[in-house]
Amino acid sequence: MKHIFEKGVNSDRTLLLLHGTGGTESDLIPLGKMIDSEANILSCRGNVSENGMPRFFKRLAEGVFDEEDLILRTKELNDFIREASDTYQFNREEVVAIGYSNGANIAGSLLFHFKNSLKCAILHHPMVPRRGVQLPNMVDLPVFIGAGKNDPICKPEETEDLAELLKKAGATVSIHWESYGHQLTKSEAQAAADWYKREI
Ligand code: MLT
């Protein structure tokens, strides 16, 4: 996968940064540094192109995921993290995902499909990646969800459903609500940084 790796300062932790539709691997680097300025950064570009816009998996329509491709791309990302941990010599057990929108959805999909794939997840405006599947045990997994009360893409019900599914699997979930739409606001980013400092 196309990516940026930046070595951190005396840190065992690696931030896996996953952009939204149409973004690139550069987009979330400032957010990552705001959340943890010392961690390694592994920022990926989605392998799928939708009319030239990078994404992490295909969709059939807005909000309707191509499940087969989602499963394949989730495995591809999980394999890539393992390979990158060998290449760059970081601890695979200490990977924290920070994703926005489509990137949050593939991060959620990592949690849904691979046990212990992430140490912690910060999901900005995520949806439920798949329904009706058995989730791995997520005990001790802290998850931050940033959501918008007026988000037309990731509707509040979708946020609540995702939080419930993660909690049922054992995760500790914190939802931060903004009164805006799908955008990632400064105050939401600050709330994620404050949560990370408190919880991790
Ligand atoms: C998705 O396709 O992952 C979601 O609809 C969010 C988006 O990228 O617009």
User: How many angstroms does the Cα of residue 62 sit away from the middle of ligand 1?
Assistant: 6
Exposure of 157 in the CB half-sphere (CA atoms within 13 A): 1
Q: pLDDT at position 90, please?
A: 98
The DSSP output letter for 134 is: P
Q: pLDDT at position 10, please?
A: 86
Measured from the Cα of 102, ligand 1's closest atom is 3
User: How many angstroms does the Cα of residue 159 sit away from the middle of ligand 1?
Assistant: 14
Query: If 0-12 CB within 10 Å is exposed, 13-18 middle and 19+ buried, where does residue 128 land?
Result: buried
CB distance 43 to ligand 1 below 6 Å = no
What's the mean pLDDT when you consider all of the chain?
A: 97
The pLDDT tens digits of the residues spanning 4-49 come to 999 999 889 999 999 999 999 999 999 999 999 999 999 999 999 9
User: How many angstroms does the Cα of residue 36 sit away from the middle of ligand 1?
Assistant: 26
Q: H or E element: which one contains 162?
A: helix 156-168
Q: Alpha-carbon distance 31 to 34, whole Å?
A: 5
ipTM field: 0.95
Q: Alpha-carbon distance 147 to 100, whole Å?
A: 10
Whether residue 78 contacts residue 118, with contact meaning beta carbons closer than 8 Å, is answered with no
Regarding predicted confidence, which is higher, 200 or 179?
A: 179
Residue-range domain boundaries for the chain: 3-199
Please give the average per-residue pLDDT across 144-173, as a whole number.
98
Residue 19 falls in the annotated catalytic set? no
Q: Which of 3.30.365.10, 1.10.1740.10, 3.30.300.30, 3.40.50.1820 would CATH assign to domain 3-199?
A: 3.40.50.1820
Residue 151 falls in the annotated catalytic set? yes
| The 142-148 sheet, strands edge to edge | 3-6, 40-44, 14-18, 95-100, 120-124, 142-148, 172-178
The pLDDT tens digits of the residues spanning 46-69 come to 999 999 999 999 999 999 999 999
Q: Alpha-carbon distance 178 to 72, whole Å?
A: 33
Alpha helices in 88-144 (DSSP H): 102-113
Please give the average per-residue pLDDT across 98-112, as a whole number.
98
